[in-house]
Structure 1
């Protein structure tokens, strides 16, 4: 298999000299909790050549934050039948505006559906088409706040984002040009620029072979008109299992993939992977600004783990077990599953559920990266956004009916 050759191989912040050679001059800035702090919480913050390094101990199971979540969703949007405005199909994302209105990216109909704070449908924006403010195939997939009181809707197949005012007026579209080298917008920065990335392309390997591969990704900062402000460099991508056939490569989701993730954290951009419990944040000039680490259990998956996982995902298709008999195993399970930044700048890191784990735990870090404790997420929904006093997510029932739910969040307990 051949992976597309990157334009540049500059990898800011991944050079080992950033973390070695200068540690003798490290300045201890802060130590919170101490070795015997409550729940085993311990955070040490230090500076290494201008890079803030935050080292966190692993929270003990009893170090749960005393934040309270409602016993049931405060708002539920979705129905099996009735008003079509409430019949959701292929929900890509959901977010809440500053006045409490909820925006649902209903990809199946090519709309942004707007609901009030009680879940009552108010209006729909967009629609499928080629006109201004309309969406192409399989869009919009994601929505995010744009600087000011606007919002951004992502259209990956059209290589563009569309900007709407808080009242639904279409403002403009930013289409990524082929000469920029970037193919997908990740999210907006506070100054109106955007973080963008390349997508992965493949050329086929020998038919009949398969492999676990890890293509690189490139990230960059783009101006509001789509032109390149700065290339940030090349970073490891997500792991993929690829089966090569006579008709070309067939990428498949690997059960225990170590993923690449990128997002905006205040005025920094994060580009990292889940190989280790480590989150790397960069300034927009590409220099490394902050590293947040947390101790975690390193455990390699077994062949039995792989078979059990596939069997659970395909209970009615036992033949798929034969397809994974020769699938390679990674050295270790991912260190975590997902990261979100809430509206207050806190980091929420979803713990990777190892075989046998039942709780849906997240570690919450303050805006500087100090671990505050563990939080158990309610329900069985996929979290899309966390605000000061709410958690917004999506859920499917046993009939595959889709819902958007908002749960109340009370942080006064800590």
Structure 2
């Protein structure tokens, strides 16, 4: 299958690296008790932060509480607490929690104790309403507002914190999704490039590009940032040549988010976070020591069996599945409300940990924090972690867990 190649990325003139310094952050509890080394250097105007990997048995002194302080959700009862297809959650400055409940097309608002207060939006095509599988994703918006994504309609809706619908923004220039607002009032946007039909009856791992751009506040294009590697997709080409994506256990992915006044366009092929200035140049690279490991055919078979415990016939397709070159270097990334970078560690076959590596706002490693089990992180605040989970009956919950940063 032929896919459109990415435009050449901006290259840097090779110059001798200037070593600016060696910094250390204490890593408390377990391990050898030594400090973690972070070396910061400059290369042609790009800040490069090289970090030592924390030992897996070590922990940063920060602690997540033993139980949730707020839990929203119920198997049956008041419909205001029955969550379906949670697409995101965030906490407002006054402590209220907003939940994107895509199953009903609503933004549901709860007080700091989890008591339902109001529901905004609804399903439909009108102002402030949401289409199928939306709202999906919430982000703070300048002026004490919030944005909610409506991916299939290619727009975002902006609400004030009292529930008033402000306006809808539709990206122009072919962009399909808004990543988030920037500090100067512009908007970071992205879109997946298209790919051609493959040879009928074949299957392969493909990697379409993602194109990025900066938009004005009205959705018009301010500048294009270029195309970069996107996420890997396992594609099965049907008998008529139509591409059909199928689940695959170990795809390497692309990540897009804002980090202060920078935009991040990166992948987890390597343990490397690449952040750019909104006008295009690469500004910062954050790296962590990482050992590359390639999956085996046995790893693939075991993963497919776990994904399909009630469908043993799914294993029949494993022999035709291609293998990726390496496991992903990490699983996901979040920037907290204080600008710290949280990277969820990828669990290799046989590993059971739920670890996140924390970096300070400049990209220096601080240590490892363990999250509650079966918990998908939606937002990390100064003293809380907001997330979602499903129980054994597939009942959905949004929960707030306390976060104590007082430890070393």
What TM-score do the two structures reach when normalised by structure 1? Answer: 0.94
Pairwise CA RMSD: 1.7
Which stretch shifts more, 28-37 or 88-97? 28-37
Verify: 1:240 aligned to 2:240, yes or no: no
**What is residue 95 of structure 2 aligned with on the other side?**
100
Tell me how far apart the structure 2 counterparts of residues 379 and 409 of structure 1 sit (CA, whole Å): 15
Retained in 2: the 8 A contact 1:40–1:58?
no
Retained in 2: the 8 A contact 1:39–1:63?
no
Residue 239 of structure 1: how far off its partner (Å): 0.7
**What are the Cα deviations for residues 213-241 of structure 1, in whole angstroms up to 9, with x where unaligned?**
11111100011111111111110111111
Verify: 1:229 aligned to 2:227, yes or no: no
Residue 171 of structure 1: how far off its partner (Å): 0.6
Verify: 1:164 aligned to 2:155, yes or no: no
Aligned partner of residue 400 in structure 1, secondary structure:
coil
Residue 2 of structure 1: how far off its partner (Å): 3.6
**What is residue 292 of structure 1 aligned with on the other side?**
286
**What is residue 123 of structure 2 aligned with on the other side?**
128
**What are the Cα deviations for residues 244-302 of structure 1, in whole angstroms up to 9, with x where unaligned?**
00341101232111101110000000001000000000000000000000001211111
Residue 169 of structure 1: how far off its partner (Å): 0.5
**What are the Cα deviations for residues 339-363 of structure 1, in whole angstroms up to 9, with x where unaligned?**
1000000000000000111110111
Retained in 1: the 8 A contact 2:192–2:208?
no
Which stretch shifts more, 27-36 or 67-76? 27-36
**What is residue 195 of structure 1 aligned with on the other side?**
188
**What is residue 325 of structure 2 aligned with on the other side?**
331
Aligned partner of residue 183 in structure 2, secondary structure:
coil
Residue 29 of structure 1: how far off its partner (Å): 1.6
Number of residue equivalences: 403
Which residue of 315, 323, 326 corresponds with 1:321? 315
Q: How does 1:208-357 map to 2 (within 5 A)?
A: 208-247=201-240, 248-357=242-351
Verify: 1:83 aligned to 2:83, yes or no: no
**What are the Cα deviations for residues 19-74 of structure 1, in whole angstroms up to 9, with x where unaligned?**
xx20x2x2222211399994451100011111100000111124311112211100
Residue 10 of structure 1: how far off its partner (Å): 4.2
Which residue of 5, 19, 22 corresponds with 1:31? 22
Which stretch shifts more, 388-397 or 199-208? 199-208
Tell me how far apart the structure 2 counterparts of residues 229 and 96 of structure 1 sit (CA, whole Å): 30
Residue 331 of structure 1: how far off its partner (Å): 1.6
Retained in 2: the 8 A contact 1:262–1:269?
yes
Tell me how far apart the structure 2 counterparts of residues 186 and 306 of structure 1 sit (CA, whole Å): 32
Aligned partner of residue 49 in structure 2, secondary structure:
strand
Tell me how far apart the structure 1 counterparts of residues 133 and 66 of structure 2 sit (CA, whole Å): 34
**What are the Cα deviations for residues 162-206 of structure 1, in whole angstroms up to 9, with x where unaligned?**
1100111011110123xx021111111122211111124233111
Structure 1 unaligned regions, length at least 5: none
**What are the Cα deviations for residues 108-164 of structure 1, in whole angstroms up to 9, with x where unaligned?**
000000000000000000001122111122211111100121000001111101110
**What is residue 9 of structure 2 aligned with on the other side?**
11
Tell me how far apart the structure 2 counterparts of residues 85 and 242 of structure 1 sit (CA, whole Å): 39
Which stretch shifts more, 191-200 or 26-35? 26-35
Retained in 1: the 8 A contact 2:26–2:366?
no
Tell me how far apart the structure 1 counterparts of residues 320 and 132 of structure 2 sit (CA, whole Å): 36
Sort the Cα spacing of 1:255 and 1:30 in 2 relative to 1 into closer, same or farther, 3 A: same
Retained in 2: the 8 A contact 1:239–1:254?
no
Aligned partner of residue 109 in structure 1, secondary structure:
coil
Q: How does 1:49-68 map to 2 (within 5 A)?
A: 49-68=44-63
Aligned partner of residue 321 in structure 2, secondary structure:
coil
